[in-house]
Amino acid sequence: MIAPHLPLKDRVDQVLTAFVTAEAQALADIDVALEPVCDQLHVATRHGKRLRAAFCYWGWRGTGQPDSDALVRAAAAIELVHAAAVVHDDLIDHSSTRHGSPTVHTALRRSDGHGQGSESGRTAGAGGPEGARDGAGAQGRALAMLVGDLIMAMAGQLFTDSGLPGAFLNRARPLWTVLARELVAGECLEIMRTGCAPDPEASVKVIRYKTAKYTVEHPLQIGGLLAGAPPRLLQAYSDYGLPLGEAFQLRDDLLGLFGDPAETGKDPADDVTGNRPTVLMAHALAAATPAERGELQALLGRECLTTEEVQQVRDIVRGTGAVTRVEHMITARQREAHDALAAADLTGDARRALGALAAEATTRTH
């Protein structure tokens, strides 16, 4: 039984802690050697603002449905999708830390003294063939990939076993499949566009599929579908959720480069060294002078950037007006989401909660 008096985030945390603990124990029961992997299941799932679960919950409540422990469990399952995506994202980006702790593939590097090599996050050669073949790094990367896969499978299990009636779950299952497909599509598009010529529109498409849809639009609609929401309300959820999800990721891109790592849990060099096709960087490269573009291109993709080099990137990006452009994009999407919410036919509690969530998603500092 979930304590009903707790805030929603705490209720979701309670569900995830109990579920992941049971799953980790079942894995450890197979062989004691799996304990380090079990530990990383806990590490990978313990952080988060639980925004995705909140959007799913209020998608349900917006139809007039009452509070439900079973719905909280179903909503918590979407947080496991996010946790799996983060494990894979850190693996793809060769990120060595998150929230001040080693990423899963870094923590699972073999520490038995054999095969120690170059990969320890963003060290020289970490992303190249030699780093990939390094015994310690290769084991960590392979295990992290499997941890991410397992968490994704656990998400489906928690959703199915949430306690909601089968007829309710059947209404949402097709969208659950779409959520996974479009998340993978976004990740693939980001990888394929890395290092390509700057294209702000293409970068927006990446964030739409990699983040926006599975962060806001799809959780809202899944909550609505579980509750039997009519098509008009589901469309309103989309009209609100898609621009808000894009604004969320645009804010994330700004915080990734300019935010305080102690608050964001992210190294400000990550997007630069990964040469990721963010909207922010696409606008900066498109607006930069030839000299500025040359400086940026010399730093993008470079391993082990110094603090001074990161600051150089920040100064150039800000000087091109890219930060202002992205802030304007965020504001426009906030307004679009606000207007859609105002026009939606949903309960007053849900309208107030979704308004507060919109502000939290786009004005946050971490």
Cβ(246)–Cβ(271) under 8 Å? Answer: no
The reported pLDDT for the residue numbered 298 is 94
Residue 330: pLDDT over 90: yes
Q: Right CATH number for 182-210+232-366 from 1.10.600.10, 3.40.640.10, 1.10.579.10, 1.10.1200.10?
A: 1.10.600.10
User: Start-end ranges of CATH 1.10.600.10 in the chain?
Assistant: 1-164, 182-210+232-366
The reported pLDDT for the residue numbered 19 is 98
- Section 150-168 average pLDDT: 98
Backbone angles phi, psi at 102, to 5 degrees: -60, 140
The reported pLDDT for the residue numbered 27 is 98
Residue 326: pLDDT over 90: yes
- Section 61-84 average pLDDT: 98
The reported pLDDT for the residue numbered 269 is 87
Average pLDDT, the chain: 91
Q: Which H/E stretch holds residue 99? A: none
Could you say which architecture CATH assigns to the domain 1-164? Orthogonal Bundle (1.10)
- Section 74-80 average pLDDT: 98
The reported pLDDT for the residue numbered 94 is 86
The reported pLDDT for the residue numbered 268 is 85
Residue 258: pLDDT over 80: yes
The reported pLDDT for the residue numbered 3 is 58
- What are the pLDDT digits (tens) for 42-52? 999 998 899 99
Question: Percentage of residues in the chain with pLDDT exceeding 70?
Answer: 92
Give the residue, 120 or 164, on which the prediction is more confident. 164
Query: Residues 6 or more apart from 230 whose CB is under 8 A from it?
Result: none
CA separation for the pair 364, 366 (Å, rounded)? 6
Residue 119 corresponds to which tokens in the numbers above?
A: 């990969």
User: Side chain identity at 354, as an amino acid letter?
Assistant: L
Q: Which residue has the tokens 């919950």?
A: 57
Query: Which of the four pLDDT bands, split at 50, 70 and 90, describes residue 2?
Result: low
The reported pLDDT for the residue numbered 254 is 96
pTM of the model: 0.91
CA separation for the pair 219, 225 (Å, rounded)? 10
- What are the pLDDT digits (tens) for 168-226? 999 999 999 999 999 999 999 999 999 899 999 999 999 999 999 999 999 999 999 99
What 357-361 contacts at long range (C-beta under 8 Å, 24+ apart), as own/partner pairs, is: 357/51, 357/54, 357/55, 357/58, 358/240, 358/244, 358/334, 360/49, 360/51, 361/51, 361/215, 361/216, 361/244, 361/247, 361/248, 361/251
Residue 138: pLDDT over 70: yes
Residue 116: pLDDT over 60: no
Smallest CA-to-CA distance from 334 within 297, 295, 364, 365 is with: 364
DSSP sequence for 336-357: HHHHHHHH----HHHHHHHHHH
- What are the pLDDT digits (tens) for 95-115? 888 877 899 999 998 654 443
